[in-house]
Amino acid sequence: MSTAAQPATIQIRTDHGPLELSAGSNLAQALDALLPRLNKQPEQVATAVNGQFVSRGARSDHILQDGDAVLCFSPITGG
């Protein structure tokens, strides 16, 4: 019985273009890689993966999969 080797990298889709990451990367790492494109600080960005909001505190725990769609947007506050 043979097991297929895990890929060394994954590719995710973002609203700022495709991004290649090491397999096992989390959302916080993806955001770090995207920040130069965004010209913002991590706390200035809200995130969603495959249409589901991911809070700042959960980014490190959210492991990305090949083909995931990551959206980075400005949080909206109201009054």
Domain residue extents for the chain: 9-73
Confidence class of residue 75 from pLDDT cuts 50, 70 and 90?
confident
The yes-or-no verdict on residue 49 having pLDDT over 60 is yes
Find the mean pLDDT for residues 45-72.
Answer: 97
Candidates 24, 27, 22; CA nearest to 48 is 27
What superfamily does domain 9-73 belong to in CATH? Beta-grasp domain (3.10.20.30)
pTM (two decimals) = 0.85
Candidates 72, 78, 70; CA nearest to 19 is 70
Per-residue pLDDT tens digits for 21-46: 999 999 999 999 999 988 888 889 99
The yes-or-no verdict on residue 48 having pLDDT over 80 is yes
Backbone phi and psi for residue 24, each to the nearest 5 degrees, phi listed first: 90, 5
Confidence class of residue 4 from pLDDT cuts 50, 70 and 90?
low
